Amino acid sequence: MVRAIRGAVQVDANERDAILDGAAELVNAVMNRNDLTTDDVISVLFTVTPDLTAEFPALAARKIGFHDVPLICATEIPVPGAMPRVVRLLAHVESTRPRSEIQHVYLRGAAALRLDIAQ
């Protein structure tokens, strides 16, 4: 079955290392909490808030082994008052888990975005 997994992390600054570290932490948490390997991942869409321009978060996934997984990055719409410095992902994966057992991951300050499902 194909499942979708959401996640987000708030990073400390619009700096290359901060974006890469946050994105890697997010990807690793999604993979670990859902018992996934890169072979299970169909594709990942990353988005960033408009204030994050120093690096593509997909590069973090490439650096941790997502060599043949389709990845793409986009910018979130600039909603006034939205939380700043957020990297989000939507991963499409193959999993036998029922939808109710999928672990969505919200880290650091981004946990406030989805208190109902944040881990």
Residue of 3, 25, 55, 106 marked active site: 106
Residue of 15, 16, 62, 101 marked active site: 62
Residue of 3, 25, 55, 88 marked active site: 88
Residue of 6, 33, 97, 108 marked active site: 6
Does the active-site annotation cover 114? yes
Identify the burial level of 53 via C-beta atoms within 10 angstroms of its C-beta, where 0-12 means exposed, 13-18 middle and 19 or more buried. Answer: exposed
Helix, strand, coil fractions of the chain, as percent rounded to 5: 30, 30, 40
Does the active-site annotation cover 55? no
Does the active-site annotation cover 62? yes
Report CA dihedral (5, 92, 23, 57) to the nearest 10 degrees: -140
Residue of 33, 76, 97, 108 marked active site: 76
Does the active-site annotation cover 94? no
Residues annotated as catalytic are 6, 62, 73, 76, 88, 106, 114
